[in-house]
């Protein structure tokens, strides 16, 4: 690792920087002595070059002075390198040499090109040696002249500056043709220019290259992997892969691997999962575990400017390579989308990269298939199961949080199918609300549940309608036996979470952890109202699934809508109501056409979704016989809503008239129940119709208003009714 990869334990950063500066100073002195040695070998005594060199050393014994200076510089570099090693770090210059696999000549050639950028006086020395004030830079010819002993060696050294060479391939130097060059075909004339980013790295500077600051960030993660909650088998396999790769990075083995593999030696891992599932936390934990820095690339910003893309990509890989950082492409589906031409640039970089690359995405379906060639391991972060969610709740709740005795972490984990991010946010909201209460701060179960409900944001309006009522069981009129069953269903809904969590059924059952309830009966008998009352008592949102919106004439669209509605219900902790469910849950038929096959596929998917759904699902039907038998097996509770008798009809008439509504004292509810055989839905229509008639005359609702409205509803429903006789009216008056 480079000096920027500072040991956080042994040596303070200021001391490391000072150590590096001394190291570079000795490296510059060594290069100066190499140029001076060439002057002594190529110029006669009394020449300008010899006199300038003698003035610099202050002695006539130049040969001895130059050699001693060079040896002292080399010894000092060895000692400083050892000091850095004892501090647990590697100096940046040595990092570049090691990671690029430079041999001795290449390392010296690089240093010869670097020194003029570190000390401008070195340019005067070069110009002095070349006896030309304009030739004050390092070119290929100068490097080979100073560093190679004879012509044969110089001819052989030309390969070190070809495109495939380490110096050029890793872009440690750029070959630039000077303005005064007569032709571009002469390799010797090319100047060796060291990029600014390389100079910054050698100087131990922390900042990234200016070109990538806007799309990448370098960090020192300190997130322990204990905060990353994954299934144990996934974590073990993932860490095993990481540790094995990181522990076999010595140069000799890497060279062998490079010769064996055609697709490069980098380890590319794809991490996918929904937002908040812990992808970012896992990336930080990996970097911390490997004791490496993390270079995170925002792919959306990286691709924002086509003109800068290639240069940015080049500099990103350079920074990651030289800093031994874990390279993370965040939101990689933007960069590696299908048939994105920019991806080819990154693929070429991966061919020469030998580090760890993490591809992070929330939408893996959008990734280019060509990326699969590079991905060695795919880790999919799914919605954590209850045991993992319980662990996440315990991790995010501070150890010293003032929890009330009624806090039930298991129940929260079972009830809310949350990601780690949602759990963290729920805890933060609960802590802030507890502090805002004033007095003695305490977090109880209701506060945690309320904060958790604040995280439920799934929008189901595109396929369903939300029911908003505030009625209670007292507003429901049913015979005693049926009402007893309704109370039993309500109790089951309330205790479902407790039974699944504390009595072990959640672990024992693989499917069927939710509640499926069937309400059957004639239209208007209170099936839908009962579902709304149960949801109101449970404090849950009730979504009435719109069958026409789910059913589609297009192949596959109905299945997509079915999956979508259940997925959103899980995310929003909502209760589902399939009104007139027999239209969707029809019996499967013998396949005689493609229509039959697709209809059966829809029914099969519904069966699977119902069985996997861990919430509350209520089905209502007027035609139970039309429903598939397999659905009936999955129904835990079934209530038959009977047609109301005269006594219950009288109660319905009395219950449905609001207290705020003015009425005449002549209304006989028992007589209405006896004379008009209407279900609750039709009675509701009659009362509303009577209210409109009374409001027109600004008079209270009277018996006559209701009678006329009830007669009209009976006609609409095809029901026989008994009109009130004249004697009945007189008696009422």
pLDDT tens by residue, 469-518: 778 888 888 999 999 999 999 999 988 888 888 888 877 887 778 899 99
Residue that is last in its domain, among 323, 352, 380: 380
Asked if the model's pLDDT at residue 8 lies above 80, the reply is no
pLDDT surpasses 60 at 341: yes
Q: How confident is the model at residue 400 (pLDDT cuts 50, 70, 90)?
A: confident
Residues 619, 712: one domain?
A: no
618 shares a domain with 479: yes
Same domain, yes or no: 130 and 31: yes
> For residue 704, what is the enclosing H or E element?
helix 703-717
Radius of gyration of the chain (CA): 40
Domain extent for 66: 13-203
With CA atoms as reference, report the closest residue to 451 among 426, 431, 434, 432.
426
Residues 370, 426, single domain; the answer is: no
CA distance 418 to 407: 18
Tell me how crowded residue 623 is: count the other CB atoms within 10 A of its CB: 12
Angle at 681 between CA 677 and CA 686, to 5 degrees: 70
Stated length of the chain = 733
Looking at the fold, whether 69 and 125 belong to one and the same domain comes out as: yes
Question: Predicted confidence band at 146 (pLDDT cuts at 50, 70, 90)?
Answer: very high
CATH code for the domain of 581: 3.40.50.300
pLDDT at site 123: 94
In a domain, 227, yes or no: yes
pLDDT at 4 over 50: no
The CA-based angle 384-387-389, given to 5 degrees, is: 50
Tokens 């209405």 correspond to 672
The mean pLDDT value for 213-219 works out to 91
Containing 617, the helix (H) or strand (E) segment is strand 616-621
Q: What is the dihedral of CA 703, 706, 712, 715, to 10 degrees?
A: -80
The chain-wide mean pLDDT, for the chain, equals 84
Q: Give the per-residue pLDDT at 419.
A: 85
Does residue 349 form part of some domain? yes
DSSP characters over 229-259: ---HHHHHHHHHHHHHHHTT--HHHHHHHHH
pLDDT confidence band for 260 (50 / 70 / 90): very low
C-alpha–C-alpha distance, residues 27 and 596, integer Å: 81
Domain final residue pick, 596, 622, 641: 641
Q: Which of 232, 24, 66, 41 is nearest to 129 (CA)?
A: 41
For residue 392, tell me if it sits in a domain. Answer: no
Same domain, 340 and 450: no
Do residues 292 and 5 make contact, with C-beta atoms less than 8 angstroms apart?
yes
In a domain, 538, yes or no: yes
377: enclosing H helix or E strand: strand 375-380
SS3 721: strand
Whether 446 is covered by a domain: the verdict is yes
Taking CA atoms, 410 is separated from 105, 228, 413, 588, in Å, by 65, 19, 5, 40
CA 140-105-136 angle, to 5 degrees, is 35
Tell me, yes or no, whether 194 lies in a domain: yes
| 714, pLDDT greater than 80 | yes
Same domain, residue pair 74 and 136: yes
At 258 the pLDDT is 45
Is 496 a member of any domain? yes
Does 652 lie in the same domain as 633?
A: no
Please say which residue of 615, 641, 667 terminates a domain. Answer: 641
Q: Are residues 637 and 668 in the same domain?
A: no
With tokens 């006669």, the residue in question is 44
Nearest CA among 108, 117, 103 for reference residue 34:
108
Tell me if 3 is assigned to some domain.
no
539, exposed or middle or buried, with CB in 10 Å at 0-12, 13-18, 19+? exposed
Residue 92 and residue 185 in one domain:
yes
Looking up residue 443, the CATH number of its domain turns out to be: 1.10.8
Q: What is the pLDDT of residues 513-538, one digit of tens each?
A: 889 999 999 888 889 899 989 988 88
Closest CA to 137 of 112, 118, 154: 112
Residue 459 pLDDT:
61
Are residue 685 and residue 613 in the same domain, yes or no? no
Total domains in the chain come to 5
Whether residues 637 and 651 fall in one domain: no
Are the C-beta atoms of 644 and 679 separated by less than 8 Å?
Answer: yes
| Confidence check: pLDDT of 588 > 70 | no
The confidence band for 211, taking pLDDT boundaries of 50, 70 and 90, is confident
- Report pLDDT for 7: 37
């Amino acid at each position: 690792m480079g000096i920027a990869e500072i040991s956080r334990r042994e040596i303070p950063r200021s001391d490391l920087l000072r150590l590096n500066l001394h190291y570079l100073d000795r490296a510059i002195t060594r290069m100066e002595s190499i140029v001076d040695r060439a002057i002594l070998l190529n110029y006669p005594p009394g020449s300008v070059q010899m006199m300038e060199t003698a003035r610099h050393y202050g002695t006539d014994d130049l040969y001895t002075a130059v050699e001693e200076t060079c040896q002292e510089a080399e010894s000092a570099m060895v000692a400083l390198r050892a000091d850095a090693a004892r501090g647990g770090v590697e100096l940046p210059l040595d990092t570049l040499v090691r990671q690029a696999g430079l041999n001795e000549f290449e390392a010296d050639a690089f240093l010869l090109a670097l020194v003029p950028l570190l000390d401008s006086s070195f340019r005067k020395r070069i110009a002095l040696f070349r006896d030309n004030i304009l030739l004050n830079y390092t070119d290929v010819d100068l490097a080979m002249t100073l560093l190679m002993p004879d012509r044969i060696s110089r001819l052989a050294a030309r390969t070190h500056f070809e495109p495939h060479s380490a110096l050029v391939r890793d872009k440690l130097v750029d070959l630039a043709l000077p303005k005064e060059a007569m032709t571009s075909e002469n390799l010797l004339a090319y100047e060796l220019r060291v990029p600014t980013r390389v100079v910054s790295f050698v100087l131990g500077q922390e900042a990234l290259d200016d070109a990538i600051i806007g799309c990448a960030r370098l960090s020192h993660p300190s997130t322990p992997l204990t905060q990353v909650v994954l299934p144990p088998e996934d974590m073990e396999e993932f860490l095993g892969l990481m540790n094995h790769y990181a522990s076999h990075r010595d140069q000799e083995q890497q060279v062998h691997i490079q010769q064996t593999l055609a697709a490069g030696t980098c380890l590319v891992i794809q991490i996918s999962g929904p937002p908040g599932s812990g992808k970012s936390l896992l990336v930080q934990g990996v970097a911390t575990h490997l004791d490496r820095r993390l270079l995170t690339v925002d792919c959306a910003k990286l691709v924002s400017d086509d003109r800068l893309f290639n240069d940015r990509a080049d500099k990103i890989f350079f920074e990651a390579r030289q800093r031994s950082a874990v390279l993370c492409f965040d939101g990689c589906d933007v960069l590696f989308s299908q048939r994105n031409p920019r991806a080819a640039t990154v693929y070429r970089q991966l061919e020469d990269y030998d580090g760890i690359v993490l591809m992070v995405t929330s939408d893996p379906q959008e990734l280019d298939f060509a990326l699969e060639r590079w991905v060695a391991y795919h880790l999919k972060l799914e919605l954590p199961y209850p045991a993992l969610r319980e662990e996440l709740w315990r991790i995010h709740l501070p150890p010293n949080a003032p929890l009330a005795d009624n806090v039930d972490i298991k129940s929260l984990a079972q009830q809310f199918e949350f990601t780690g991010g949602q759990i963290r946010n729920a805890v933060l909201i609960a802590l802030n609300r507890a502090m805002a209460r004033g007095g003695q701060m305490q977090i109880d179960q209701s506060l945690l549940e309320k904060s958790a409900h604040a995280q439920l944001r799934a929008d189901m309006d595109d396929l369903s309608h939300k029911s908003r009522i505030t009625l209670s069981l007292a507003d429901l009129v049913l015979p005693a036996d049926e009402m007893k069953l309704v109370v039993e269903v309500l109790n089951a809904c309330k205790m479902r979470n407790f039974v699944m969590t504390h009595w072990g059924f959640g672990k024992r059952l693989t499917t069927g952890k939710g509640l499926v309830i069937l309400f059957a009966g004639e239209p208007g008998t209170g099936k839908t109202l009962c579902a709304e009352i149960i949801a109101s008592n449970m404090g849950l949102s009730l979504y009435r699934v719109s069958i026409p919106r789910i059913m589609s004439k297009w192949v596959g669209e109905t299945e997509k809508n079915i999956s979508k509605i259940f997925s959103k219900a899980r995310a929003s902790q909502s209760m589902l109501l399939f009104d007139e469910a027999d239209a969707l849950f029809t019996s499967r038929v013998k396949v005689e056409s493609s229509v039959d096959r697709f209809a059966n596929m829809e029914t099969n998917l519904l069966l699977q979704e119902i069985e996997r759904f861990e919430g509350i699902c209520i089905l209502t039907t007027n035609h139970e016989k039309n429903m598939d038998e397999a659905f009936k097996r999955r129904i835990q509770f079934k209530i038959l809503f009977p047609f109301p008798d005269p006594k219950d009809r009288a109660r319905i008439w009395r219950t449905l008239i609001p207290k705020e509504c003015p009425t005449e004292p002549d209304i006989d509810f028992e007589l209405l129940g006896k004379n008009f055989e209407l279900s609750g839905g039709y009675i509701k229509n009659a009362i509303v119709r009577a209210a409109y008639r009374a409001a027109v005359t600004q008079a209270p609702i009277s018996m006559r208003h209701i009678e006329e409205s009830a007669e009209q509803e009976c006609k609409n429903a095809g029901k026989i009714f008994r009109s009130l006789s004249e004697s009945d009216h007189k008696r009422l008056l």
